Chains A and B, each alone.
Chain A
Amino acid sequence: MFYKILDVADRILHFKRASAHCDIPCGIYDPHQAQIAALTVIRMVDLMGELVANEKVEKIDFNNSMARYIAVKEEHAELCKREVRVIFGDYFKKEHVEKYPELPTLTHHIFQLGSKCRQTANRQTALDLLGLVNRFAEIYWETKAVPTKRVKAPYKPGEEIVYPIL
């Protein structure tokens, strides 16, 4: 009875809602995509260097290949930043930041280096980006209590990346 009175009153007065908020968070986070993107940036810089060194390439082919390498480098540097942003923003909590105080600065440096990789074709910059993303991945897996190992990627550019030991 009392409920019915309140229900009618709510239709007129629209009481404030207290949300028992509920959704289906996917909870799927993995820094691997960011690592692959960083490796791709290195690979594109390498391919750009090889293309410049190859004097036999026709100008039209040179321009075509160079444009493609630059486009992929741009895309993956940005993808790397995006993946790191999502994990930092959605997965890492205050407790993680307290345990790993380097996290905010590390993430910021990844963003900066990601942008620098777009602006330049410097291999060392791309390597630095991968190094920071690897550290980010290590921290991520540590928060999941999953041990990691560093191994050379079994494909070009063959740089070292962090893998979870599952």
Chain B
Amino acid sequence: MCRLLRVSGRSMEPLYREGDFVVISKIPFFFRPVQVGDTIVFRHRVFGVLVKMVAETHHANGEIFVTGIQPESVDSKEFGAVRIREVMGKVVWHIQREKK
């Protein structure tokens, strides 16, 4: 129902910083399909479990395009579309690392 994950990497900074925790869930998708602007976690066959932001949705094809915030982000501009069925959940709770 819900999963707790820890963010690694910096492509989503400054919104999601390395070491932050996120709780993800598929429940929101029962009420509203994945939408542009959602922060999601999905499983990629090469890069593993990734956290990115949805940039485009193509529900008819069952595909979405994802993006990071930093220009060096490895995302859909690198690996193309993501199948919606590979989405593990939407970030529903963000527990930020305490600022030093």
Contact = CB atoms under 8 A, between A and B. Distances in A.
B21 A17 contact: no
B81 interface: yes
Interface stretch (A20-28, A111-119, A124-132): A20-28
A93 interface: yes
A18 B22 contact: yes
A18 B7 contact: yes
A15 interface: yes
Nearest to A22: B11
B17 to A, nearest CB: 9
A4 interface: yes
Interface string B4-32: 11111111110010110110100000000
Interface in A1-32: 2-4, 6-7, 10, 15-25
A19 B5 CA distance: 10
Given A3-B98, A93-B80, A18 B8 contact: yes
Interface residues of B, number: 37
Contact of A20 (B21, B52, B78): B52
A86 to B, nearest CB: 14
A95 B16 CA distance: 30
A94 interface: yes
Given A3-B95, A24-B72, A19 B8 contact: yes
Interface string A86-114: 00000001110000000000000000000
Given A7-B19, A16-B3, A18-B22, 16 more contacts: A10-B6, A15-B4, A15-B21, A17-B8, A17-B49, A18-B5, A18-B6, A19-B50, A20-B16, A20-B73, A21-B47, A22-B10, A22-B11, A23-B74, A25-B74, A94-B81
22 contacts: A3-B98, A10-B6, A15-B6, A17-B5, A17-B49, A18-B6, A18-B8, A18-B41, A18-B49, A19-B8, A19-B9, A19-B47, A20-B9, A20-B12, A21-B11, A21-B47, A22-B11, A22-B68, A22-B74, A24-B72, A94-B80, A95-B80
Interface of A: 2-4, 6-7, 10, 15-25, 93-95
The 7 lowest CB-CB distance pairs between A and B, nearest first, are A22-B11, A20-B9, A20-B12, A18-B51, A18-B5, A20-B11, A21-B74
Interface of B: 3-13, 16, 18-19, 21-22, 24, 41, 47-52, 68, 70, 72-74, 78-81, 95-98
